[in-house]
């Protein structure tokens, strides 16, 4: 199957209310153009520098979503153009994004990342930390960020039951947060969960945005030969 065929196949499996973020990290602009020509306009990247270079050399109507772990000193490079930041995992980071968005006169859409996996290595708020942050209410003063929903990653496991239960717990939490703090905000509607190996389970659990990379583009270099073929930041 070609990249375009992979894309078409995945698209045909998505319900109408679920958007596809084509995760193009580590893949060259030629591959992205192939997906672009097949009609995809929403792409996700996990390194600020790499996303910036691609943003500059690819068509302007691409919507760039940042899905990686964000360091505060990198925000300024993407503030002028990024369409959504999926991985807000601290209040401090939200404040920083707000500051840089204000400097360029924008309101940046953000998702709060929740830690739902068993692995220690995945970033994100615990449900309790997230509740505390929302309860405190200071985020309401941040006029240059818009909280649009939640994001999470399930444990990397073959146990489908485990994956399902993690996605369901995030969906339940989403409903609680929506009801408690965002009932009047129709823009708070996104639940970003699901990757190549688990997007079906994520959709069953109420995902509105799946982030799919290898199933479209093929395996990334570093996964096959352990050799990361890009400059680290
Ligand atoms: C890389 C990445 C993806 C896509 O992973 P695939 O398994 O290639 O689909 C999705 N979400 C995040 C946060 C990622 O870093």
Smallest CA-to-CA distance from 42 within 10, 76, 75, 2 is with 10
Smallest CA-to-CA distance from 41 within 26, 69, 22 is with 22
Atom of ligand 1 nearest to the CA of 87: 13
pLDDT bracket for residue 225 (50, 70, 90)? very low
Q: Which fold has domain 3-219?
A: TIM Barrel (3.20.20)
Contacts of 1 (CB under 8 A, 6+ apart): 9
Structure tokens, 31: 């591959």
Smallest CA-to-CA distance from 207 within 150, 147, 158, 157 is with 150
Residue extents of the structural domains in the chain = 3-219
Structure tokens, 201: 């389970």
CA–CA separation, 85 vs 81, rounded Å? 11
Atom of ligand 1 nearest to the CA of 46: 15
- 144-166 pLDDT tens trace: 999 999 999 999 999 999 999 99
Atom of ligand 1 nearest to the CA of 199: 9
Distance 141 CA to ligand 1 centre (A): 32
- 48-74 pLDDT tens trace: 999 999 999 999 999 999 999 999 999
Distance 119 CA to ligand 1 centre (A): 16
Looking at residue 221, its pLDDT comes to 61
């Amino acid at each position: 199957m070609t990249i375009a065929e992979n894309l078409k196949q995945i698209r045909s499996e998505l319900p109408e209310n679920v958007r596809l973020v084509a995760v193009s990290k580590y893949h060259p602009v030629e591959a992205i153009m192939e997906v672009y020509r097949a009609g995809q306009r929403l792409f996700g990247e996990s390194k600020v520098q790499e996303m910036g270079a691609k943003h500059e050399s690819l068509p302007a109507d691409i919507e760039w979503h940042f899905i990686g772990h964000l360091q505060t000193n990198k925000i300024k490079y993407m503030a002028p153009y990024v369409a959504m930041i999926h991985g807000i995992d601290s209040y401090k980071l939200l404040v920083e994004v707000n500051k840089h968005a204000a400097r360029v006169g924008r309101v940046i859409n953000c998702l709060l990342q929740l830690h739902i996996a068993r692995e220690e290595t995945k970033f994100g708020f615990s449900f309790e930390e997230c509740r505390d942050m929302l309860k405190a209410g200071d985020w309401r003063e941040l006029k240059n960020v818009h909280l649009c929903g939640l994001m999470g990653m399930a444990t990397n496991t073959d146990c489908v039951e485990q994956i399902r239960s993690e996605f369901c717990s995030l969906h339940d939490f989403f409903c609680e947060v929506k009801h408690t703090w965002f009932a009047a905000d129709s823009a708070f509607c996104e639940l970003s969960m699901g990757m190549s190996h688990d997007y079906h389970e994520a959709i069953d659990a109420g995902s509105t945005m799946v982030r799919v990379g290898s199933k479209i583009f093929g395996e990334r270099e570093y996964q096959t030969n352990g050799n990361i073929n890009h400059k680290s930041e």
